[in-house]
Amino acid sequence: MAIRLSRRGALAALGGSALAVGLGVDGALAASSEVAVLSDWVQIAPDGQVTLFTSVQEMGQGAWDVHARIIAEELGLDWAKVKVEQAPPLPVYGIFSPGYGTGGSASVREMWGKLRKVGAAARTMLVEAAAERWTVPASQCVARGGQVVHADSGRTLGFGELAPAASRRPVPQDPALKPRGTWTVVGRDLPRKDLPGKVDGTAVYAPDVIYPGMLTATIRQAPQFGAKLASVDPAPALAIPGVRQVLEMRGVSITVPGWAQPVELPDAVIVVADGFWPAKKGLEALAPKWAEGIGEPDTAGLLEQLKTAALTKAEVATPRGTYAEGEREALAKRLAAATDAALATADRTIERDYTAPLLAHAPMEPLSAAARITPDGGVEAWGGFQNTSGLRRSAAAMLGVPVEKIDAHTLFSGGSFGRRYKNDFGLQAIWAARAAGAPVKLIWTREEDIRQDWYRPAGFQRLTAGLDKAGRVSGFKVVGANNNANYTRDMVSGPPHDLFQYDVPGLSMAGAFVASPIPGGPWRSVLHTGNAFAVESFIDELAHETGADPLAFRRPLLTKAPRAMRVMEHVAKAAGWGRRLPKGQGLGLAVWSSFQSVCAQVAHVKVEGGKLRVEQVWCAFDCGTAVNPDGVRAQGESSILLALSSAATGEINLDNGRVVESNFHDYPHISLAQAPRIVVDLLETPDAPPGGAGEPMTPPLMPALGNAIFAATGQRLRTLPLTKAGLTLV
């Protein structure tokens, strides 16, 4: 895709428009004619202060300033002096497509090439401006530490002085990039720009937004998914001092131009008050009547639905691409036939069923957003939105105004793991501000956050493998189903970063999609969470069935995946794979490829009388190039602990289509005392395009844990959480 690098674009165009966001209410950037805008990402003040813009929404993945690091590298800047700001929510900043959103572990991998050019173009323009001033060849000038230096004469000019002239120069479309050997920013453990505010209480999250006249609201959505609000008597809430209004949200369905499905918000009651406490008291005083269905799914019922769908309706997946008429179906038939033939002629077949529960995201910041209706009927909204452009478009449609009138500040969020990609909370805040006739800050209670999540879908997978006399895999079949997703299919049909890593003869995967009122959505590493647990546990089972070492068993399957092989060998060595351990202890291995990165982990567990202690987890990770290596290591720690916590106790249960759990007492989270030692080793593949870092270290943990438990006890886990197997994490 040809990327047109532009000098002006988003930032300069803001002056005077209604959309003055992220730069001050009065459009400070455009108003200050002194600041030179070299591109949508680079602004230089007369004193030489460089401000780099990022569209990354920071949710704890540590990627907020990575775009700035890439640009700063090419510009030859001193990182300590760089200022980073959130870019306005304009489509030019879109990461994987025009839009404005963060997810898919895409912040580096989708923008790497483009941002290097952005930085290099700005550098070229500054160097050329200096060379022109000095009437010397540009080739004799270098950009270093915020200045351009003419080597021969020693003359220097600061970026601040050069920027205006530089900004008037043509933007080079294919500037020379700094060679890797000269890097001083990328690949260094330099401090994150968002951290200082996170240790002194000044970092602003949605619940911290203050605006004159802003009221606080909280919400109860229909507890049974899909139920309607029949009636609510507002009097008990209104009787509480501080409660201002009780709003009834019914039948909100937003048709957004160009979107295949309307955006539907659950029926809800919203209590608007002077502060959160009266709002919450008001909510608890209400007794809304809901028109509910009967016989909606319970936990077991949902699983039954998935099993039935997997075993009766799963369709064999084919790789992405264009097929001639009938060709896709023919290929699917051939794949299925090859698998059946391989299984039929195998020396023996092994078949196992794996299931996965619903998981909650439960970020530390319950969903929240603030909004006001502007005098011209538009919106100014604030929140930790992962999909700000989606919010703008759906809010515009909801209000019947042009999208240009929807202004949205993308704030830091207190965690997300994918939850905040759905804009329900933002739309609710906007809806409430309009209905209340006042700016509203909507803060979901923790209970609402747990009960109205966009859950990691539940799953059922049946895996069947054929083994020949030598114990090699011949024939590998997976049929599976998830609610509101088709995770099994995506291992074959998905984009390159979702594809199954192993090379096995006679492979076929068939998936079924089960539409369910229980909302299912992306949860850190998405399809890979359940798929990796099932596949890597099953591979381990096959190894043990053949008496093979799990490490050795995997080697022939990874001959076409050298990077996966390399991290696997590395982590096995780091963990001392193969060493004898005392009774009740075991090591478990798992390796998984996702988001264009590869990750292998070994877990060391100790099991005694139902108590499970994870002593250590080793992780070897290759994302090609780590822009902020320490940040990537931190994501390893983060992924491993989230996965471990979820494996230990994570399950969301259903009763007649309502979620049972409600807070951290019944959806617990791992404590510091339970955390294992974690070692993350980064391996690089400099010639490969960078891969993701926020999610790909999640999938291997659960199967590594399960495999370690098998090694320690002989007990094989085919579902989670561990509590189902009588194991308590200590």
Residue of the chain from 630, 655, 681, 684 that contacts other proteins (CB under 8 A)? 630
**549 forms part of the interface with other proteins (CB under 8 A):** no
**678 forms part of the interface with other proteins (CB under 8 A):** yes
Element (DSSP H or E) covering residue 130: helix 112-134
Nearer to other proteins, 363 or 703 (CB): 363
Task: State the minimum distance, in angstroms, from the CB of residue 671 to other proteins.
Answer: 6
**363 forms part of the interface with other proteins (CB under 8 A):** yes
Residue of the chain from 116, 192, 220, 405 that contacts other proteins (CB under 8 A)? 192
**364 forms part of the interface with other proteins (CB under 8 A):** yes
Task: State the minimum distance, in angstroms, from the CB of residue 83 to other proteins.
Answer: 17
**365 forms part of the interface with other proteins (CB under 8 A):** yes
For 559, counting Cβ atoms within 10 Å of its Cβ (0-12 exposed, 13-18 middle, 19+ buried), the class is exposed
**665 forms part of the interface with other proteins (CB under 8 A):** yes
**366 forms part of the interface with other proteins (CB under 8 A):** yes
Nearer to other proteins, 539 or 697 (CB): 697
**239 forms part of the interface with other proteins (CB under 8 A):** no
Are 661 and 451 spatial neighbours (Cβ–Cβ below 8 Å)?
A: yes
Residue 676 CB-half CA count within 13 A: 30
Task: State the minimum distance, in angstroms, from the CB of residue 239 to other proteins.
Answer: 13
Q: Tokens for 561, please give them.
A: 């995946």
Q: Tokens for 616, please give them.
A: 């250590």
**58 forms part of the interface with other proteins (CB under 8 A):** yes
User: Can you list the pairs that 657-661 forms with residues at least 24 positions away whose Cβ atoms lie under 8 Å?
Assistant: 657/224, 657/225, 657/226, 657/227, 657/292, 657/293, 657/296, 657/297, 657/298, 657/517, 657/518, 658/223, 658/224, 658/225, 658/296, 658/451, 659/223, 659/450, 659/451, 659/452, 659/453, 661/360, 661/450, 661/451
**216 forms part of the interface with other proteins (CB under 8 A):** yes
**639 forms part of the interface with other proteins (CB under 8 A):** yes
Residues 6+ apart with CB under 8 A from 280: 218, 271, 445
Pairing of β 83-86 and β 368-373: unpaired
**719 forms part of the interface with other proteins (CB under 8 A):** no
User: Residue 401: which of 434, 376, 433 has the closest Cα?
Assistant: 376
Residues 6+ apart with CB under 8 A from 720: 356, 357, 533, 646, 647, 650, 651, 702, 706
Query: By CB under 8 A, which span of 160-168, 257-265, 408-416, 505-513 interacts with other proteins?
Result: 408-416
Per-residue interface string for the shown chain with other proteins, residues 318-357, x marking contact by CB under 8 A:
----------------------------------------
Q: Tokens for 214, please give them.
A: 């802003």
Task: State the minimum distance, in angstroms, from the CB of residue 275 to other proteins.
Answer: 4
Task: State the minimum distance, in angstroms, from the CB of residue 318 to other proteins.
Answer: 38
Residues 427, 371: Cα–Cα separation, whole Å? 9
Per-residue interface string for the shown chain with other proteins, residues 263-282, x marking contact by CB under 8 A:
-----------xxxx--x--
**611 forms part of the interface with other proteins (CB under 8 A):** no
In the block, residue with structure tokens 């790909």:
696
Residue of the chain from 132, 208, 292, 340 that contacts other proteins (CB under 8 A)? 208
Residue of the chain from 32, 156, 653, 663 that contacts other proteins (CB under 8 A)? 663
DSSP state of 426: H
Q: How many residues bind other proteins (CB under 8 A)?
A: 64
Are 661 and 450 spatial neighbours (Cβ–Cβ below 8 Å)?
A: yes
DSSP state of 697: T
- What separation in angstroms does the CA of 114 have from each of 41, 76, 79? 11, 17, 20
- What separation in angstroms does the CA of 587 have from each of 677, 700, 723? 14, 13, 20
Per-residue interface string for the shown chain with other proteins, residues 84-123, x marking contact by CB under 8 A:
----------------------------------------
Residues 561, 532: Cα–Cα separation, whole Å? 16
**188 forms part of the interface with other proteins (CB under 8 A):** no
Residue of the chain from 225, 412, 487, 710 that contacts other proteins (CB under 8 A)? 412
Contacting positions for other proteins (CB under 8 A): 58-62, 191-192, 194-205, 207-208, 210, 216, 241-242, 274-277, 280, 362-366, 412-417, 443, 445-446, 630-631, 634, 637-642, 645, 663-665, 669, 671-673, 675, 677-678
